[in-house]
Chain A
Amino acid sequence: MAILSLAWKSLLNRRFTALLTLASIALSVTLLVGVERLRTEARASFANTLSGTDLIVGARSGPVQLLLYSVFRIGDATNNLSWESYQDIAAHPKVAWTVPISLGDSHRGFRVLGTTEAYFEHYRYGRDRRLSFEEGQPFSDLYDAVLGAEVADTLGYQIGDAIIVAHGAGEVSFAKHDDKPFRVLGILERTGTPVDRTVHVSLEAIEAIHVDWQSGAPIPGLSISADQARAMDLTPKAITAFLVGLESKIATFQVQRFVNEYPEEPLLAILPGVALSQLWDLIGVAENVLLIVSAFVVVVSLFGMLTALLTSLNERRREMAILRSVGARPGHVFALIMGEAGFLTLLGVLSGMALLYLALIAGQPLIERRFGIFVPIGGPTPYEWGLLGAVIAAGFLVGSIPSYRAYRLSLADGLAVRI
């Protein structure tokens, strides 16, 4: 114990270098645990991009592909599914609700999604959060559109603005549905999900803008005006996919099998949670790399401590001789340097965590607004405790190097004062 108080006073005496070392350890710990916490939450948030939906149904392809185009609006469906099949499955006794999705058009790089009012009622993300309107309301008229938050922000749209939908999904499109402009009726609040980057219109509207089109081009000589289209039967012949909510989760596999074995056309039903975690495994490599990099930052900061302690040893050989002369054992000299390394590591970890919590408290609203990730401010998880334990163990391990050197020196020098 006596030697620890010496170690503490010695650190205070060299408080400038000690503080620098401490700061680098603290910042690296903040980074390490911060990255760990963010990636956990990013994973959770990703897994909850779509929640509350029991099954996604589309034309038969791969689960990840279906997920990509139906939830993330990435890529295209290889096939649509017929309206009759949709009606048939929606009428299954175990199905509580369905949300049809029709994709294929875009507006200045943002996907246009045709759906029904059920979308605003049943779509859930995060921990059972529903879509809410920052402004306006769900579409009511045929040519109404509801914008995701990012669409409105990026393009500067407000309620009442007119927008033109382009055919196809490209950023630049030459085929525009400019004869049937839409009116912005609602803007959704930011969700941090692909919903933010989506323009929502009704299924009938998708049908209406294509009544005079065929095979991706306007039919020459045929022009049906926006008002003429209103009078026509706009029931879609096909949709891209649909979300399914069940009466009870117990029926999930039963309904999934019903869809996958549907005799009329080849369909695929996936469990969004399973497919999302499959997709995360695919793209989640980056988060592991990030954690590894921040672990290396910790190692670098510990090497900084090693350098600081080792370089101080030579000028401290006299101090060691004095300590030996008053009866300190070489083991005491070891404990002195180890105590300093221990104090630096422990204080570094403590202040690193304090810094992390300050940053979380300050940054939590911003992170949630910008990325839709809610980072809870709780105590460290077992995994984080493990990380902190590893940092402390590494600190002591690194500290044992100069400690052992000091031990050897004091054993060799004895009372001889060498400089």
Chain B
Amino acid sequence: MVIDIKGLQFRWQPSAPLVLALEDLTVTAGERLFIKGPSGSGKSTLLSLIAGVTTAAVGSVRVIDQALEQLGSVERDHFRADHIGYIFQMFNLIPYLSVLDNVTLPCRFSARRRTKARSRGRGLDAEARRLLQHLDMDQADLHQRAVTTLSVGQQQRVAAARALIGSPELLIADEPTSSLDADRRESFIRLLFDECRASGATLVFVSHDASLEHLFDRAIDLAVVNRSL
């Protein structure tokens, strides 16, 4: 079980209203889960909980058999660095780093992912180039360019390469395709699928765009399962 949420109740402050209440949510290894829901349905909160940025007072969030609420905040930061790749909606990249430096960024914070990225017997940059190539970013001149000169689609693929480097077990994508046009959305998702399959990663994909739902193994609607609504 990669994600195992039981009896979760989350509020920002003890006196604040309930934001998220999940009875039971499990994701198995290698699964590709689509989470849909309108804004305000608790998507961002759920992702913060899975990524270990926040913890809930009631219930349990287990990720890769680790109960996150039992870890301190520093340990959770370590845990995230080691096991989770994260893709934002847009502007995923650090503007002052090159494409390659952006891709290898997680390896600065996680020795585990650094070791795994090197396990193919090559350097970090070589591994970053390999991932970029798989994501149709194989023009070598792109790799040294300032990231601000890349198109939105190119930026998202760099972000995907960054989330994938060092083979984390879990990939979280927070509406990564909302800034792409329709035909690029699908191709981006297919590339993501291929890479997840190759590294054995589990994918949790959040979007309000129900048209993508059919591509995934399974879909849940937060508007339905979130009992606080």
CB-based contact B54/A414 at 8 Å: yes
A176 at the interface (CB under 8 A from B): no
CB-based contact A328/B53 at 8 Å: no
B78 at the interface (CB under 8 A from A): yes
User: Top 10 nearest A-B pairs by Cβ distance?
Assistant: A327-B81, A13-B96, A414-B53, A327-B109, A2-B108, A325-B86, A326-B106, A329-B77, A10-B96, A9-B96
- Chain B 82-108, CB-CB to A under 8 Å as 1, else 0, gives 100010110111111100010001101
Residues of B within 8 A of A408 (CB): none
CB-based contact A417/B89 at 8 Å: yes
Given contacts A13-B96, A417-B89, contact A2 B109 (CB under 8 A): yes
Given contacts A322-B88, A322-B93, contact A327 B106 (CB under 8 A): yes
B154 at the interface (CB under 8 A from A): no
Closest CB in chain B relative to A10 CB, distance in Å:
5
CB-based contact B53/A324 at 8 Å: yes
| Bound Cα distance from A415 to B81, whole angstroms | 13
A161 at the interface (CB under 8 A from B): no
Closest CB in chain A relative to B58 CB, distance in Å:
19
B residues whose Cβ falls under 8 Å from a Cβ of A: 44, 47-48, 51, 53-54, 73-74, 77-78, 80-82, 86, 88-89, 91-97, 101, 105-106, 108-110, 162, 174
Residues of B within 8 A of A37 (CB): none
Residues of A within 8 A of B162 (CB): 326
CB-based contact B78/A327 at 8 Å: yes
| Bound Cα distance from A326 to B158, whole angstroms | 14
Interface size class of A (residues with CB under 8 A): 20 to 34
Closest chain B residue to A325, Cβ basis? B86
Closest CB in chain B relative to A84 CB, distance in Å:
86
Closest chain B residue to A322, Cβ basis? B94
- Chain A 320-343, CB-CB to B under 8 Å as 1, else 0, gives 011111111101100000000000
Closest chain B residue to A419, Cβ basis? B91
Residues of A within 8 A of B81 (CB): 326-328
| Bound Cα distance from A3 to B97, whole angstroms | 12
Q: Count of A-B contacts with CB under 8 A?
A: 69
CB-based contact A327/B77 at 8 Å: yes
CB-based contact A321/B88 at 8 Å: yes
Residues of B within 8 A of A6 (CB): 94, 97, 108
Given contacts A13-B96, A319-B94, A414-B48, contact A328 B86 (CB under 8 A): no
| Bound Cα distance from A233 to B89, whole angstroms | 108
A39 at the interface (CB under 8 A from B): no
- Give A380-419 interface residues, CB cut-off 8 Å to B: 414-417
A325-B86, A325-B88, A415-B174 known; 6 new pairs, CB 8 Å cut-off, are A12-B96, A14-B96, A326-B81, A327-B78, A415-B44, A415-B53
Residues of B within 8 A of A10 (CB): 96
Residues of B within 8 A of A415 (CB): 44, 47-48, 51, 53, 86, 88, 174
CB-based contact B91/A325 at 8 Å: no
Closest chain B residue to A318, Cβ basis? B91
| Bound Cα distance from A301 to B129, whole angstroms | 43
Closest CB in chain B relative to A101 CB, distance in Å:
71
| Bound Cα distance from A38 to B47, whole angstroms | 62
Closest CB in chain B relative to A52 CB, distance in Å:
63
| Bound Cα distance from A13 to B88, whole angstroms | 22
Residues of A within 8 A of B82 (CB): 327
Closest chain B residue to A324, Cβ basis? B53
| Bound Cα distance from A6 to B82, whole angstroms | 20
| Bound Cα distance from A10 to B93, whole angstroms | 13
Residues of A within 8 A of B93 (CB): 322
Instruction: Determine which residue in A2, A12, A332, A415 has the highest number of CB atoms from chain B within 10 A of its CB, and name it.
Output: A415
Residues of B within 8 A of A324 (CB): 53, 77
| Bound Cα distance from A332 to B78, whole angstroms | 12
Instruction: Determine which residue in B78, B92, B109 has the highest number of CB atoms from chain A within 10 A of its CB, and name it.
Output: B109
| Bound Cα distance from A325 to B47, whole angstroms | 11
| Bound Cα distance from A24 to B51, whole angstroms | 43
Residues of B within 8 A of A414 (CB): 48, 53-54
| Bound Cα distance from A325 to B73, whole angstroms | 14
Q: Which of A9, A321, A328 contacts B97 (CB 8 A)?
A: A9
- Chain A 223-237, CB-CB to B under 8 Å as 1, else 0, gives 000000000000000
CB-based contact B54/A326 at 8 Å: no
- Chain A 1-38, CB-CB to B under 8 Å as 1, else 0, gives 01100100110111000000000000000000000000
CB-based contact A327/B110 at 8 Å: yes
Given contacts A9-B97, A12-B96, A416-B44, contact A326 B86 (CB under 8 A): yes
| Bound Cα distance from A387 to B81, whole angstroms | 42
Residues of B within 8 A of A13 (CB): 95-96
Q: Which of B51, B109, B174 contacts A328 (CB 8 A)?
A: B109
Closest CB in chain B relative to A343 CB, distance in Å:
13
CB-based contact B89/A325 at 8 Å: no
Instruction: List, sorted by A's number, 11 A–B pairs whose CB atoms are closer than 8 Å.
Output: A10-B96, A323-B105, A324-B77, A325-B86, A325-B88, A326-B86, A326-B105, A327-B110, A331-B74, A415-B88, A415-B174
Closest chain B residue to A327, Cβ basis? B81
Closest CB in chain A relative to B69 CB, distance in Å:
16
CB-based contact A329/B74 at 8 Å: yes
Q: Which of A12, A329, A417 contacts B88 (CB 8 A)?
A: A417
Residues of B within 8 A of A2 (CB): 108-109
| Bound Cα distance from A322 to B101, whole angstroms | 13
| Bound Cα distance from A416 to B39, whole angstroms | 14
